[in-house]
Structure 1
Amino acid sequence: MPANEDDLMTVGELARRVGVTVRTIQYYDQKGLLHPSSKSEQNQRLYSRDDEERLYRILTLKYLGFSLAQIKEAEALDDRQELSGALEHRMHELERESVEVLRNISTVNSLREHLAASEHVRWSDFAQAISDMQNREDVLW
């Protein structure tokens, strides 16, 4: 059933509702990800609630690390399965990144201790300490 023109919104209204810029919506249109449901008599692009939901999908998948090409390819996939896989992938990325951050914190703390215990800065000592810390598996435990 086609949307009633009263139920449609302009690109500006859609942008305000979703919290993005008009330019963002235009960009997704250019990339073939989001198209207006219809046009007004003044040739204004009009978007439906389904279009709004599609935009939320694009933004969510973008946040989860999908490229625009991947988002376009995944249009035919089951939403639950797609989102579940994307969430799982993002969780693994965040876990990997958090391990790296914790390792870096440990390394910086070690360097601070090294600096406090030494009278002179010997850059070679600091470089060696960084290398040693980065190569330790037990740094986080």
Structure 2
Amino acid sequence: MTKYRAIPPGFMTVGEIAKKMGVTIRTLQYYDKEGLLTPSAESEGGRRLYTDKDLLMLNQIISLKSLGFSLEDIKGRLFPLETPEEVANALSEQAEDIRKKIEKLKASLSAIEQLKAEVLQIQTVNFKKYADIIVNLQMQNDSYSLIKRFDDDTLDHIRSRFDKKSGSDFMDRFNRLSDEIMQLQKNKVPPESKKCQELVKEYWDLIMEFTNGDMTMLPRLTEVGKIDIATNAWEEKQKIINEYLGPALQIYFSKLGTNPFEEV
């Protein structure tokens, strides 16, 4: 590190760069200690001296820290800034990190707005339901609106049967199957067709997996499945599927010689 008797032009003291960049002197001293930002020079009196290049390097650190990177991560992401290309690359990477952060913030904002809407529809304070909705929003599960339709007993059953991973896997399979059934409906495939009945069997198997064979849950699921007025795209889709599935399930049960819903 170069030493100067006095502070030459183009150099800043630790206090000056701290004020300019809105950080504390202690923060700069810590960055120096951790090897993140070493001053370019030092006066004979021991004052740490910084340049405009150091200021740009500090800007990299502050930006990455604000995006949630640890100091260890930041060390590996800093560009040396020796050439115009390195400066441009540093700025490009900062811009990309900021864009990703913006997308996450947009998703968080959307989740908050959706949760607010659901809270008002539930009309009673129910923190368990709020938590379930938040988890499903984080999973980007479009069927999160179902939660407000479930009673507390059904929700307790779901919590005991599924964790985040298994719940996500179940909904992926359910949505895939729903898409296939929706396609049959669009193509006007008859409910009694072999393809439709194969999907109906798969659909019923999912219901049995969901209830763990507890037939007493069927009336509650039937009530939950009734969608008179759809409030979102997922409910609109399920409403169409339900209209097609009704007759298909009747045919499936008649072939089995039993109707679980009637028996319950």
Q: TM-score, normalising length from structure 2? A: 0.41
**2:22 corresponds to 1:19:** yes
Q: Distance in 2 between matches of 1:53 and 1:122?
A: 50
Task: Give 5+ residue unaligned stretches, structure 2.
Answer: 81-85, 146-231, 234-264
Aligned residues: 134
After TM superposition, the structure 1 = structure 2 runs for residues 1-141 of structure 1, keeping only pairs within 5 Å, are 5-7=7-9, 8-76=11-79, 78-115=86-123, 121=124, 123=126, 127=129, 131=133, 134=137, 135-136=141-142
Select the structure with the greater relative contact order (CA < 8 A; seq sep ≥ 6).
1
Task: Give 5+ residue unaligned stretches, structure 1.
Answer: 116-120
Contact 2:63/2:94 (8 A) holds in 1: no
Contact 1:64/1:86 (8 A) holds in 2: no
Cα deviation for residue 68 of structure 1 reads 2.2
RMSD (CA atoms): 3.5
Q: Distance in 1 between matches of 2:15 and 2:21?
A: 10
User: CA deviation digits over 1:43-100, x for unaligned, max 9?
Assistant: 2222222222222222223234433223322334633234323422432343234224
Structure 2 letter corresponding to 1:63: S
Q: Distance in 2 between matches of 1:97 and 1:17?
A: 28
Q: Secondary structure at the match of 2:78?
A: helix
Structure 2 letter corresponding to 1:45: R
Change (3 A) 1:122 1:72: closer
Please say which of residues 11-20 and 58-67 is displaced more in the overlay: 58-67
Q: TM-score, normalising length from structure 1? A: 0.69
Cα deviation for residue 15 of structure 1 reads 1.0
Change (3 A) 1:46 1:97: closer
Structure 1 letter corresponding to 2:142: R
Q: Distance in 2 between matches of 1:62 and 1:112?
A: 37
**Whose radius of gyration is greater, 1 or 2?**
2
Cα deviation for residue 17 of structure 1 reads 1.9
User: What fraction of aligned residue pairs are identical, expressed as a percent?
Assistant: 32
